[in-house]
Amino acid sequence: MPKDRDTGRSPTSKELRDADRIANLPPTQQKDHPSAVPADPSKLDHINTYGQLPEFYIDRPFSCRQCGKREIWRARDQKWYYEEAKGHIDAVAVECHDCRKAKKAGRSSAYPTHASRDDLGVKGVD
Ligand SMILES: [Zn+2]
Which residues have CB less than 5 Å away from ligand 1 (the ion)? 64, 66-67, 69, 96, 99
The stretch 56-61 carries a mean pLDDT of 95
pLDDT digits (tens, 9 = 90+) for 72-115: 999 999 999 999 999 887 788 899 999 999 988 876 544 444 44
The pLDDT tens digits for 21-53 are: 999 999 999 999 999 999 998 999 887 766 778
Give the domain ranges of the chain. Answer: 13-123
Residue 125 to residues 4, 26, 93: CA-CA distances in angstroms?
Answer: 32, 23, 11
Q: How far is the CA of 73 from the centre of ligand 1 (A)?
A: 13
- CA dist., res. 61 & res. 72, Å (int): 4
The span from the CA of 103 to the CA of 101, in Å, is 5
Tell me, in angstroms, the distance from the centre of ligand 1 to residue 101's CA: 9
DSSP code, position 60: E
User: 71: CA distance to ligand 1 center in Å?
Assistant: 9
∠ CA(10), CA(12), CA(15), 5° rounding? 110
| pLDDT value at residue 116 | 44
